[in-house]
Structure 1
Amino acid sequence: MSDFTTLELIKDPRGFATLWLSREDKNNAFNAQMIRELIIAIDHIGADSSLRFVLLRGRGRHFSAGADLAWMQQSAQLDYNTNLDDARELAELMYNLARLKVPTLAVVQGAAFGGALGLISCCDMAIGASDAQLCLSEVRIGLAPAVISPFVVQAMGERAARRYALTAERFSGERARELGLLAEAYPAAELEQQVGQWIDNLLLNSPQAMRASKELLREVGHGELTPAIRRYCENAIARIRVSPEGQEGLRAFLEKRSPAWQGQPSNKEPRP
């Protein structure tokens, strides 16, 4: 879909995209170029109304080892204002990923350290290998998980975030599932098959209804019952019912047929 040096953005003909972190020789570690390219790729995704959902993945053995060593060495030489510019760039990436209108699914294997937990937390859903190793590693090198912290707290809860941010303990994919950071954790040998099943399941759903549901849940937040939220929800269901896909879905249900947006499940592994 576009030319990148640190990423690959591949659109599947079934209507979804996979955004691959592609610095395999560096274990997909972040640097300034990858952050900038991720921002650009997310802009491309957001502008493509044909996409139904997006997978975020890492090439090779690891999802992402966190910050690139050479980039950190350069950052150590920068003054406060230049570091602030770097932080704002990373924040733009995280906030843009979290605000994407299409559903996002992160797939985690191997190591996911530091800022990689931010990417995972910004996605709507995440799955991974049971033996994946995750870590909020910043305090080990005298730093803090500052920019990613709001998203990590939302994904795994305040108490767990305090523990792992303050101890820098590594925890497994299975533990991440228990904390809610991952929706599911699978044996590593089964991960690709499970990714295919997640893809097939998402392809059953109305693309516009998934977008509308994501926007709805963002507005609802923690579920506080206010008059404004009540009115928003009432309007949301009225809008989706009269939308083309809402009408098609209702007709298909009543006529006992598949709606137009459903293709045939692939039962295949995703394109490598």
Structure 2
Amino acid sequence: MATVTLNRPDMRNAFNETAIGEITGAFRALDHAQEVRAVVLAANGPAFCAGADLNWMKKMAGYTRDENLADAAQLAEMLRTIHTCSKPVVARVQGDCYAGGMGLVAACDIAIAAETVNFCLSEVKLGLIPATISPYVIRAMGENAARRYFLTAERFSAQEALRIGFIHQTAAAGALDAAVADIVRALSANSPHAMREAKRLVRDMAGAPLTADLIADTAERIADIRSSDEGKEGVAAFLEKRKPGWL
């Protein structure tokens, strides 16, 4: 397991162009690290992430449209890199999570938050919209909830985030690390190749129309995974009542 930690606690872990570049680089490197089975995205300090850094926002206020477009493209690439990482990514949300920070959480595969955490999509209060994070946030919480929270900019609790499906689990603050460790332990027992393909399966199938081509694609995927080295090893280990070789 590897951990990527947001470490600007004095700035409530708000991100700027430097942080965006560092996060993107870290996930690109971990994507190719064969010894890593899972990645935890964590943060130091009382907040998980407050979104965009105020000083960065002041600088962006003077940008041309083209400069804003280039800046937004870097943020979009960071989120895409997290979302498409071949390793399972677990968000450990220990503190409040606002605006762009919610995009970070939504781009992860599994999100666990402390019971005291508050969430907020605050962009419209500033005359903005959560555009870059929207593909991930809407997938995580659903269109109906997104319509409300995109428009109202209300704060909502970890319990509400769990109810609408934005996060997968809550835990008492003192039990957050144990809850994350349980998930990582479960992930570490699984075939790395199968988890990579399972992630791709969800991305490709979610919302796709149920066509003959889609059905054929699913048949091809199971045939490919059955004939893969880890697929053969996993089935053999199960039948022989032994641990598979990837453990």
Shorter-chain TM range is over 0.9
User: How far 1:25 moved relative to its partner?
Assistant: 1.9
For 2:211, the equivalent position in structure 1 comes to 226
Residue type of the partner of 1:172? S
For residues 166-199 of structure 1, the C-alpha deviation after alignment (integer angstroms, 9 at most, x for no partner) is 1111111111111101001111121111111111
Verify the 8 A CA contact 1:208 1:245 in the aligned structure 2.
Answer: yes
Matched, 1:215 2:200: yes
Which residue, 17, 26, 36 being the options, matches 2:21? 36
User: Equivalents in 1 of 2:181, 2:204: separation in Å?
Assistant: 30
Verify the 8 A CA contact 2:88 2:187 in the aligned structure 1.
Answer: no
Which residue, 232, 236, 239 being the options, matches 1:247? 232
Residue type of the partner of 2:106? S
For residues 184-236 of structure 1, the C-alpha deviation after alignment (integer angstroms, 9 at most, x for no partner) is 11111211111111111111111111011111222212253211111111111
RMSD of aligned alpha carbons: 1.3
Matched, 1:55 2:45: no
Task: Mark the runs of 5 or more structure 2 residues left unpaired by the alignment.
Answer: none
For 2:154, the equivalent position in structure 1 comes to 169
For 1:187, the equivalent position in structure 2 comes to 172
1:66-85 map, 5 Å:
66-85=51-70
For 2:94, the equivalent position in structure 1 comes to 109
Verify the 8 A CA contact 1:97 1:123 in the aligned structure 2.
Answer: yes
Runs of 4+ in 1 over 4 A off after TM superposition: none
User: How far 1:94 moved relative to its partner?
Assistant: 1.4
User: Equivalents in 1 of 2:189, 2:80: separation in Å?
Assistant: 28
User: Equivalents in 2 of 1:223, 1:177: separation in Å?
Assistant: 25
Matched, 1:120 2:92: no
User: Equivalents in 1 of 2:175, 2:47: separation in Å?
Assistant: 16
Verify the 8 A CA contact 2:100 2:130 in the aligned structure 1.
Answer: yes
SS at structure 1 position matched to 2:40: strand
User: Equivalents in 2 of 1:22, 1:163: separation in Å?
Assistant: 31
Verify the 8 A CA contact 1:219 1:229 in the aligned structure 2.
Answer: no
For residues 112-167 of structure 1, the C-alpha deviation after alignment (integer angstroms, 9 at most, x for no partner) is 11101111111111111111011001111221111111211111011111111111
User: Equivalents in 1 of 2:245, 2:4: separation in Å?
Assistant: 26
What TM-score, normalized to structure 1? 0.87
Task: Mark the runs of 5 or more structure 1 residues left unpaired by the alignment.
Answer: 1-15, 263-272
| Identical pairs, percent | 44
What TM-score, normalized to structure 2? 0.96
User: Equivalents in 2 of 1:158, 1:217: separation in Å?
Assistant: 18
Residue type of the partner of 1:72? M
User: Equivalents in 1 of 2:93, 2:245: separation in Å?
Assistant: 32
Moved more, 217-226 or 183-192: 217-226
Matched, 1:143 2:128: yes
User: Equivalents in 1 of 2:95, 2:81: separation in Å?
Assistant: 25
User: Equivalents in 2 of 1:219, 1:77: separation in Å?
Assistant: 39
Residue type of the partner of 2:152? T
User: Equivalents in 2 of 1:197, 1:47: separation in Å?
Assistant: 24
Verify the 8 A CA contact 2:116 2:173 in the aligned structure 1.
Answer: yes
Matched, 1:134 2:144: no
Residue type of the partner of 2:246? W
Matched, 1:89 2:74: yes
User: Equivalents in 2 of 1:70, 1:138: separation in Å?
Assistant: 16
User: Equivalents in 1 of 2:246, 2:46: separation in Å?
Assistant: 35
SS at structure 1 position matched to 2:48: coil
User: How far 1:56 moved relative to its partner?
Assistant: 0.9
For residues 70-101 of structure 1, the C-alpha deviation after alignment (integer angstroms, 9 at most, x for no partner) is 11111112222211111111111112222222
User: How far 1:49 moved relative to its partner?
Assistant: 3.2
